[in-house]
Structure 1
Amino acid sequence: MTPLDQVITVLAGLGAGIATSSIGVASLVSFPILLALGIPPVTANSSNTVALVPAGLTGALGYRRELLGRLPLAAAVMGLSGVAAVAGALLLLRLPADVFATLVPWLILFACLLVAVQPRISAWLKSRRPEGSDDARTSMTPSLAAGTAACGVYGGYFGAGQGVMMIAVLSLALDLPLAVVSALRTLAVLASNIVATVIFVFIAPLDWHIVALLASGSIVGGYLGALIGRKLPTSVFRALIVVAGVAVAIGYWL
């Protein structure tokens, strides 16, 4: 790589880290840049996943205020996502790549739709509660566990768009501010990436030079993304997630 390519890769890591912790679509940033630099797709995908683990760690650190008092829920979300990602990784080894690839854009678009209409769905669900019941949903439930596990399997298999899907699942299942939802989403994606990293180290082609360059940028980007995600107005945050998710889906089709 030329010196310019190395600088571009570091900046790609920075941008991907910011996207990871803020709106959850790092695949929009770093992966296309690696391909443009001539990195083979499989190597780019695996190296990108490994390099974004530091972004998840610093992103979680940036969201520490939102996670205070919610450690049991955070641990449950992270644990379920990580364990389910193992199943996704096994599917990656067993199934032809085109089986699931066909469904990926549609799954992401469906998640975008859920994010967009979540306020209406949540209001409808609240209206269906027994009269006088104002208990907020702030803990793990069977439906949240199922949704988290499904996103974890997806994350272990493909990964791109997992953050958008987790936002949809968490927003529908919990009565919590979007900043807290984003913090939990960051942990779920981090868990999937850690599992994928362990597997990729043994079975996937990795370019450790690329990993180091991306990671150096993603460490800073992950923390900055958490600060941005905390301050974004709810309507803007939701709109960015939907736009970014649609862009990812279109990117797959192209």
Structure 2
Amino acid sequence: MQNVLDVVADLAATLPFEGWQVGLILLAGVWAGLINTIVGSGTLVTFPVLVTMGVPPVTASMSNAMGLIAGNLTGAWHYRHELKGVERTLLKLIPFSVVGGVIGAALLLHLPETVFGYAAPALIVVALLFVIFQPRLQALVRRRKDEQAEAAAAAARARGETPRPLDPDRAPQPVSLYALTFLAGVYGGYFVAAQGVLLLGILGVFLLASLQAANAVKVVLVALVNIVAAVSYVLFALDRINWWVVLLIAVSSTVGSWAGAKIGRRLSPVVLRTVIVVLGVVALVNLVARLV
């Protein structure tokens, strides 16, 4: 027993954070998992907290992406039933998303860290814009889905057939869907924040399926991009990963994802988006201050 306590004590001695910092990171991870389950963009909670705690931006991005995988997988499992009817379409999209994720991770690993220092503020602005305009984006998606369903029903009536629900696995998907899914993978592999919101916007408009099915596909693709990026980091940048951050974010984001699936839908989306925007602005100010 004493040996175990000694090992724990030695391990705790390597913790690069003070107690209050650990608590803040854990809180951010829980909140990120909760937000990812409901509206997405949880990285805009954890990333600014990590940078503020003194973690270098690239290390924060890598470690955070790896830590959030546990929450991503929890969300993917939660949405597994919504994937019925779009399995073949998902299999067609996976290579585009994965290859994009590999390219994005390669860019993060091989470009100078100063490039990320300049790119990160711009990408945070893009991410925040997606979060701020998410309600309008969702309204556009719903309208698009209604138009698709009505067009399919009208075509069926014109042929003298009874309108049936659209089968996305048999309907030809537009080429733009695959191209934009690839670009979203590149974005996610390089900079994790708000890739879910970006991808849902793409799938919601271009994927010939229901909004729930689009959201389920999004959850799986985001998880795969993060896994691909994490494998790349482990293989080629092991020394740049902060494993304490990975552990803290993994545990706390999993708890947050579970809570989001259970009780998170009772929380106001406006409040959640406000928290995302405030912390995103904190990260933006912090990164710009470093450049200045």
- TM-score clears 0.5: yes
SS at match of 1:29: helix
TM-superposed deviation, 1:30: 1.2
In the alignment, does 2:47 pair up with 1:24? Answer: no
Structure 2 equivalent of residue 15 of structure 1? 31
TM-superposed deviation, 1:153: 1.2
| Alignment TM-score, normalising by the size of structure 1 | 0.79
Q: CA 1:242/1:80 → structure 2, altered by over 3 Å: closer, same or farther?
A: farther
Amino acid at match of 1:66: E
What is the count of residue pairs matched by the alignment?
250
Q: How do 1:47-62 and structure 2 match up within 5 A?
A: 47-62=63-78
Q: Flag the structure with larger Rg.
A: 2
Q: For 1:85 and 1:28, locate their aligned partners in 2 and report how far apart those are by CA, in whole Å.
A: 19
CA-to-partner distance for each residue in 1:99-153, whole Å, 9 max, x for gaps? 6864663476367454442333444556666942456262372332222112111
CA-to-partner distance for each residue in 1:64-118, whole Å, 9 max, x for gaps? 2222444333333344311211122233334843368646634763674544423
Q: For 2:128 and 2:141, locate their aligned partners in 1 and report how far apart those are by CA, in whole Å.
A: 15
Q: CA 1:243/1:115 → structure 2, altered by over 3 Å: closer, same or farther?
A: farther
Q: For 2:91 and 2:279, locate their aligned partners in 1 and report how far apart those are by CA, in whole Å.
A: 28
Q: What's the % identity of the aligned pairs?
A: 33
Find 1:183's aligned residue among 216, 236, 252: 216
CA-to-partner distance for each residue in 1:1-37, whole Å, 9 max, x for gaps? 2233223322222221222232121122211222232
Structure 2 equivalent of residue 151 of structure 1? 184
Q: For 1:218 and 1:114, locate their aligned partners in 2 and report how far apart those are by CA, in whole Å.
A: 26
> Where do 5+ consecutive residues of structure 1 fail to align?
none
Q: CA 1:249/1:220 → structure 2, altered by over 3 Å: closer, same or farther?
A: closer
Q: How do 1:216-235 and structure 2 match up within 5 A?
A: 216-227=251-262
TM-superposed deviation, 1:176: 4.0
CA contact (8 A) 2:86 2:213 kept: no
TM-superposed deviation, 1:242: 7.5
Structure 1 equivalent of residue 61 of structure 2? 45
Q: How do 1:80-229 and structure 2 match up within 5 A?
A: 80-92=96-108, 93-94=110-111, 96-97=115-116, 98=118, 102=122, 105-106=125-126, 109=129, 112=134, 114-124=137-147, 131-133=154-156, 136=166, 138-139=168-169, 141=173, 142-201=175-234, 202-203=236-237, 205-227=240-262
Amino acid at match of 2:33: G
Find 2:88's aligned residue among 40, 53, 72: 72
TM-superposed deviation, 1:169: 1.0
| Alignment TM-score, normalising by the size of structure 2 | 0.70
Higher mean C-alpha deviation, range 220-229 or range 81-90: 220-229
Q: For 1:99 and 1:32, locate their aligned partners in 2 and report how far apart those are by CA, in whole Å.
A: 15
